Amino acid sequence: MAISTVNVSSPANEIVYSSSAMGATVEGIKASSAKVFSVIVDNSLNNAATYVKLWNLASGSVVLGTTAPDEIIYVPASVIVTHVLYTGASQGKNFGTALSAAAVTAGGTAGVTGPSSPTVVTVNYV
């Protein structure tokens, strides 16, 4: 098995948000603007795919299954995925209003059912 290393510089004042069991309840990660650099999703306890959805809205403004997400991260069953976000060639994706997230079992806008087992989600942002 080949091993490779990718150096990703850490921005000053980086914040690491971790949810030990993200599911179908929308979590407010930041109530103001944020620049997200990476999302790490541990779906190793689930035998089905999970979709982590990010919104550029405060959690109270998101109606799960109705409000279109600004980013959807597909995570296959039984794996851990690191998703690095970019805007063009620049590292990071801006969420100008707020940052909210949820984890469900359906992609797209639809989906209101959370994973059957805990899904650990870590978001790195400034």
Instruction: Give the model's pLDDT for residue 3.
Output: 47
- 22 belongs to a structural domain: yes
CATH code of 59's domain: 2.60.120
- 25 belongs to a structural domain: yes
Instruction: Give the model's pLDDT for residue 89.
Output: 86
- 8 belongs to a structural domain: no
- 2 belongs to a structural domain: no
> Do 100 and 27 meet the contact criterion of CB atoms below 8 Å apart?
yes
Instruction: Give the model's pLDDT for residue 6.
Output: 52
- The pTM (predicted TM-score) of the whole model is 0.90
> Per residue, what are the HEC states of the chain?
CCCCCCCCCCCCCCEEEEEEEECCCCEEEECCCEEEEEEEEECCCCCCCEEEEEECCCHHHCCCCCCCCCEEEEECCCCEEEEECEECCEECEEECCCEEEEEECCCCCCCCCCCCCCEEEEEEEC
Q: What is the extent of the structural domain holding 97? A: 15-125
- 6 belongs to a structural domain: no
- 99 belongs to a structural domain: yes
Instruction: Give the model's pLDDT for residue 7.
Output: 56
- 10 belongs to a structural domain: no
- 4 belongs to a structural domain: no
| Structural domains in the chain (count) | 1
Q: From first to last of the 126 residues of the chain, give the pLDDT tens digit.
A: 454 445 556 677 889 999 999 999 999 999 999 999 999 999 999 999 999 999 999 999 999 999 999 999 999 999 999 999 998 888 999 999 999 999 999 999 999 999 999 999 999 999
